[in-house]
Chain A
Amino acid sequence: MKFIYRILLSALLVGITSCTDVIEVDVPEGPIRLTIEASLDWEKGTTGNDQTILLSTSTPFFESQNNTAVTGATVQVRNNDSGAVFTFQDQNDGSYITSSFIPVMGNSYTLEIQYEDEQYTATETMLPVSEFSSITQSREDGEDDEALEVNVSFQDPADIENYYFLRFQSRNDRLPELFYIKDEFVDGNEVTFYYEKLEDDQDNIKEFEPGDTVDIILLGISEDYHNYLRLLVEQFESAGNPFSATPVALVGNCINVDNPDNTPYGYFRVSEKVASNFTFE
Chain B
Amino acid sequence: MREKKKRPGPIRLLMGLCLLASSFTINAQNNYTISGNVKDEINGETLFGTSIFLKGTTIGAITNEYGFYSITAPQGSYMLVFSHLGYKEISMQVVLDRNQKIDIEIAESSTQLNEVEVTAEEPERAILRKPEMSVSKLNIKTVKQMPVVLGELDVIKSLQILPGVTSNGEGSSGFHVRGGAVDQNLVLLDEAIIYNTSHMLGFFSVFNADAVKDLKLYKGGIPAKFGGRVSSVLDVRQKDGNSKNFALTGGIGVISSRLAAEGPMFNDRGSFLVAGRGSYAHLFLKLAGEKNSVSFYDLNLKTNYQLNDKNKLFLSGYFGRDVFDFDGSFSSSYGNASGNLRWNHIFNDRLFSNLSLIYSKYDYELGIEDFEFDWISSIKNYNAKYDLKYYFSDAFKLDFGISTIKYEFDPGQIKPTGPNSSINELQLDQKRALESAAYINAEHKLTDRLTAQYGLRFSHFNRMGGQPLSEYANDQPLTYNPTLRFYQRTDPIGETVYKKNESIETFSNFEPRVSLAYQLNDYSSVKFGYSRAAQYIHLLSNTSSVTPLDVWTPSGKYIKPQLSDQYAIGYFRNFKDKMYSMEVEAYYKTVDNRIDYIDGSDLIGNNTIEREILNGESRAYGLELLFRKNEGPLTGWISYTLSKSEQRTFGGNAGGPGINNGDWYNTPHDRTHDISITGAYQFNEKWSFGANAIFQTGRPVTYPNGQYQYEGISIASYSERNADRLPAYHRLDVSATYKPNKRPDKKWKGEWVFGIYNVLNRKNAASISFGQNFETGANEATRTAIFGIVPSITYNFKF
How far is B717's CA from A116's CA once the two chains are assembled, in angstroms?
Answer: 22
How far is B771's CA from A17's CA once the two chains are assembled, in angstroms?
Answer: 22
How far is B748's CA from A6's CA once the two chains are assembled, in angstroms?
Answer: 10
A residues 142-194 with Cβ under 8 Å of B? 142-145, 167, 169, 173-176, 178, 185-192, 194
Question: Quick one: given A23-B781, A142-B329, are A176 and B484 in contact (CB under 8 Å)?
Answer: no
Indicate if the CB atoms of A142 and B370 lie closer than 8 Å.
yes
User: Of the candidates A19, A190, A246, which one forms a contact with B668 in the assembled complex, judged by CB atoms under 8 Å apart?
Assistant: A246
A residues 1-46 with Cβ under 8 Å of B? 1-14, 16-25, 27-33, 35, 37
How far is B712's CA from A65's CA once the two chains are assembled, in angstroms?
Answer: 12
The stretch from B11-19, B74-82, B252-260, B299-307 touching chain A is B252-260
Query: Is residue A134 contacting chain B, with contact meaning CB distance below 8 A?
Result: no
Contact digits for A228-254, partner B, Cβ 8 Å, 1 yes 0 no: 001110011111111111111111110
CB of B601 to closest CB in A, whole Å: 7
Indicate if the CB atoms of B767 and A178 lie closer than 8 Å.
no
Indicate if the CB atoms of A230 and B709 lie closer than 8 Å.
no
Indicate if the CB atoms of A28 and B713 lie closer than 8 Å.
no
Question: Quick one: given A12-B792, A61-B779, are A4 and B249 in contact (CB under 8 Å)?
Answer: yes
User: Of the candidates B254, B706, B773, B782, which one forms a contact with A11 in the assembled complex, judged by CB atoms under 8 Å apart?
Assistant: B254
Query: Is residue A260 contacting chain B, with contact meaning CB distance below 8 A?
Result: yes
Query: Is residue A117 contacting chain B, with contact meaning CB distance below 8 A?
Result: no
Query: Is residue B419 contacting chain A, with contact meaning CB distance below 8 A?
Result: no
Question: Quick one: given A25-B703, A236-B713, are A20 and B782 in contact (CB under 8 Å)?
Answer: yes
Q: Which residues of A contact B798 (CB under 8 A)?
A: 4-6
Query: Is residue B672 contacting chain A, with contact meaning CB distance below 8 A?
Result: no
Query: Is residue B574 contacting chain A, with contact meaning CB distance below 8 A?
Result: no
Contact digits for B689-723, partner A, Cβ 8 Å, 1 yes 0 no: 00000000000011111111111111111110111
Query: Chain A at the B interface: mostly helix, strand, loop or mixed?
Result: loop
Indicate if the CB atoms of B599 and A235 lie closer than 8 Å.
no
Indicate if the CB atoms of B708 and A244 lie closer than 8 Å.
no
Q: Which residues of A contact B710 (CB under 8 A)?
A: 35, 37, 232, 265-267
Indicate if the CB atoms of B547 and A231 lie closer than 8 Å.
no
Indicate if the CB atoms of A246 and B722 lie closer than 8 Å.
yes
CB-based nearest A residue for B602: A230
Query: Is residue B790 contacting chain A, with contact meaning CB distance below 8 A?
Result: yes
Indicate if the CB atoms of A21 and B707 lie closer than 8 Å.
no
Query: Is residue B483 contacting chain A, with contact meaning CB distance below 8 A?
Result: yes
How far is B251's CA from A238's CA once the two chains are assembled, in angstroms?
Answer: 39
Indicate if the CB atoms of B543 and A245 lie closer than 8 Å.
yes
Indicate if the CB atoms of A58 and B708 lie closer than 8 Å.
yes
Query: Is residue A98 contacting chain B, with contact meaning CB distance below 8 A?
Result: no
CB of B589 to closest CB in A, whole Å: 22
Query: Is residue B326 contacting chain A, with contact meaning CB distance below 8 A?
Result: yes
Query: Is residue B682 contacting chain A, with contact meaning CB distance below 8 A?
Result: no
Contact digits for A119-156, partner B, Cβ 8 Å, 1 yes 0 no: 00000000000000000000001111100000000000
Indicate if the CB atoms of A13 and B717 lie closer than 8 Å.
no
Q: Which residues of A contact B704 (CB under 8 A)?
A: 27, 61, 239, 247
Q: Which residues of A contact B172 (CB under 8 A)?
A: 242
Question: Quick one: given A28-B724, A176-B712, are A58 and B707 in contact (CB under 8 Å)?
Answer: yes
Query: Is residue B461 contacting chain A, with contact meaning CB distance below 8 A?
Result: no
How far is B328's CA from A192's CA once the two chains are assembled, in angstroms?
Answer: 19
CB-based nearest B residue for A235: B716
Query: Is residue B327 contacting chain A, with contact meaning CB distance below 8 A?
Result: yes
CB-based nearest A residue for B748: A5
B residues 762-781 with Cβ under 8 Å of A? 763, 765-781
CB-based nearest A residue for B545: A242
Chain A: interface size category: 35 or more
Indicate if the CB atoms of B799 and A10 lie closer than 8 Å.
no
Query: Is residue B247 contacting chain A, with contact meaning CB distance below 8 A?
Result: yes
Indicate if the CB atoms of A187 and B424 lie closer than 8 Å.
yes
Contact digits for A53-83, partner B, Cβ 8 Å, 1 yes 0 no: 0101111111111001000000000000000
User: Of the candidates B486, B543, B600, which one forms a contact with A243 in the assembled complex, judged by CB atoms under 8 Å apart?
Assistant: B543
Q: Which residues of A contact B283 (CB under 8 A)?
A: none
Q: Which residues of B contact A16 (CB under 8 A)?
A: 150, 787, 790
Query: Is residue B151 contacting chain A, with contact meaning CB distance below 8 A?
Result: yes
Indicate if the CB atoms of A239 and B769 lie closer than 8 Å.
yes
Query: Is residue B169 contacting chain A, with contact meaning CB distance below 8 A?
Result: yes
User: Of the candidates B253, B424, B701, B782, which one forms a contact with A186 in the assembled complex, judged by CB atoms under 8 Å apart?
Assistant: B424
CB of B541 to closest CB in A, whole Å: 9
User: Of the candidates A12, A203, A247, which one forms a contact with B773 in the assembled complex, judged by CB atoms under 8 Å apart?
Assistant: A203
Q: Which residues of B contact A240 (CB under 8 A)?
A: 701, 767-770, 782
B residues 72-124 with Cβ under 8 Å of A? none
CB-based nearest B residue for A240: B769
Indicate if the CB atoms of A239 and B543 lie closer than 8 Å.
no
Q: Which residues of B contact A248 (CB under 8 A)?
A: 599-600, 702, 718, 721
Indicate if the CB atoms of B718 and A174 lie closer than 8 Å.
no
Indicate if the CB atoms of B151 and A10 lie closer than 8 Å.
yes
The 8 closest A-B pairs by CB, nearest first: A8-B251, A30-B705, A10-B151, A240-B769, A10-B253, A248-B599, A58-B708, A35-B708
What is B's interface to A at a CB cutoff of 8 Å?
Answer: 150-152, 168-169, 171-172, 245-255, 258, 326-329, 370, 414, 422-424, 426, 483-486, 542-545, 547, 597, 599-602, 605, 668, 701-719, 721-724, 763, 765-799
Pairs across A and B, CB under 8 Å, 15 listed: A2-B245, A4-B247, A5-B249, A8-B794, A10-B253, A12-B254, A28-B705, A31-B706, A56-B709, A59-B708, A142-B329, A242-B544, A243-B547, A247-B716, A265-B715
Q: A54-B709, A174-B774 are in contact. List 4 more A-B contacts (CB 8 A).
A: A17-B788, A20-B782, A145-B328, A186-B423
